Structure 1
């Protein structure tokens, strides 16, 4: 592993019984880089993240982590019984042993320090996402794993949240691994985009389209230049069983928004 690599995955395979859900995946997560993982439902995104977090053992292949690697995890959703009284302050204490000062620092990092004494049940979707992000930051992570962080947040909130994640990457000098379900939107700040459909279909940098008229018409909000459409080409397709079928040269497909 290089000095900047925090996790290196080599030829990873994960089987559930007879079903292979991750096939020959190799990638690395590097300090200071944002990696966005995209793909259709059932592509194995969550399975791959669980392997990165150490919650699943590979059937074959290797996952090499920096020694004592600190990982902060932000789940896609968190269901808390509405009959259970819980303030943001008490909720943050479930992440790690931390005092009020640490909690306020984490909330300040996500611009949500005014929420400390509020009930988690009174928070808006965007506020809850920020609290979940603050909770992950209490671990002072070297790797921050975010499962669809913009879920349930309106487009203005998404722009703010993506900008916030980029600032946190800079502040903590951490790696970020982010799952995105909406293939039409990928952060322009993303350093690496990985398209997964059990195996890595393709990977690369997002394209900048901030001056495209159709892009401006679609988003039409301040700060939308911080998002970019991402399109890329596949040299194969999948049959009904999910197996790879090569395409003829004139059939190469663009997967910009169709996965």
Structure 2
């Protein structure tokens, strides 16, 4: 199957209206599009290997074949200072952000021997941020999980990642703005201004992330395997 065919594309994490949803929107007018799959969490729960196996088995039983392309944009965040967060909320962040990716990869490996996967990471995997100990550490673990999996599975599996530095107008970023303003005693306007302090003078746009994801999934050369591309805006 050509890389330009989306017949067996799986998009995970498109329900909340963030990067995953923008990625789906970017495919609507593409003449190469055939069919893609974007199941809600109740149909594909990445924290539950049984749910993953069931979804993939049903997909195969209907004769659609393996997923040759997977965009993993699932993610969650627990906000609060380390002394205030309960450990269960931090564990849930890891369950989605790290173990969700590993669960899905292991499930896919049961039904197919190759594929191309693009994963959304975060600059918080390398930049510590206050009140986000669960999120920062989970994204750091996700980045390393991606690299280890790529080291083990290349060339049959082509696994890449994107590390955006703050994406404008996503549910997660909007929550960050509100919580950061509360924690620091700023107005939301001042917080947005602080978020925009980067050489290009603004946050990364969702469509820019979606565009890079499409290239990594469908066009990037084999040598990109294991790479995490930073979108720093300067």
Give your verdict on TM over 0.5.
no
TM-score normalised by the chain length of structure 2: 0.36
**If each structure's helix is expressed as a fraction of its own residues, which one has the higher value?**
2
TM-score of the aligned structures, taking structure 1 as reference length: 0.34
Q: Decide which structure has the larger Cα Rg and report it.
A: 1
